[in-house]
Amino acid sequence: MKLLGKITDAIEDYGIFVFLVAMFVLITFQVFFRYVLKVPLPWAEELARYCMIWASYLGVSACVKKNSHVGVDGLVNLMPGPVKRGINALVVVIVAAFNIALFILALRLTLTIAKNGQKSPALVMPMWLAYLALPTSFGLATLHSLTSLVGDVKNALKNDGESGAVS
């Protein structure tokens, strides 16, 4: 399980870094070529856009892993411990189910685009490579959600066992 965590960390952290740096370099070159040399690079803007898409979607799965996605938990924090843990577990189940659904739909979309042979306008690259960011991201997010759910169940069982032993 720890090896899987290291692999997903590497994919997300290094992937986000590489795509953001590539986007910065591409846009810098594009500005230089367009305004200094007066020779625009039509493919650079398109490739930078795909880098931004990949970095953004890898960021989604990184946020799910770190539980730093947007949420309103003011009311939940007022609840007693067992109720709070139950609500948090329900939220993790809902997020996992949502990620599973998005993964399946994104995979279908990517496979459909691959089957149709759609190409990007400037780079003439297969568009499924750009769309592959969706199932990759939601697959990683699903993995993180399920890992979080397993951890929550283990903690709940451990806490229940401890409270039973004390009383």
Number of H helices, E strands in the chain: 6, 0
CA 101 to chain centre: 14
Confidence of residue 163 (pLDDT cuts 50, 70, 90): very low
Q: What is the dihedral of CA 4, 144, 18, 32, to 10 degrees?
A: 170
Of 152, 155, 117, 140, the closest CA to residue 64 belongs to: 140
- Range from 37-41, 90-94, 99-103, 132-136 carrying the lowest mean pLDDT: 90-94
Q: What is the dihedral of CA 114, 121, 55, 22, to 10 degrees?
A: 130
Say if residue 89 is exposed, middle or buried (CB neighbours under 10 Å; 0-12, 13-18, 19+).
Answer: middle
**pLDDT for position 158:** 80
Q: Give the pLDDT confidence of 135-162 residue by residue, as tens digits.
A: 999 999 999 988 888 887 787 778 765 5
- Listed in sequence order, the residues at least 6 apart from 1 whose beta carbon sits closer than 8 Å to its beta carbon are 147
Q: What are the b/e assignments for 151-162, b being 16+ CB within 10 Å?
A: ebeeeeeeeeee
Q: Give the pLDDT confidence of 20-39 residue by residue, as tens digits.
A: 999 999 999 999 999 999 99
CA 76 to chain centre: 25
Q: What is the pTM of this model?
A: 0.85
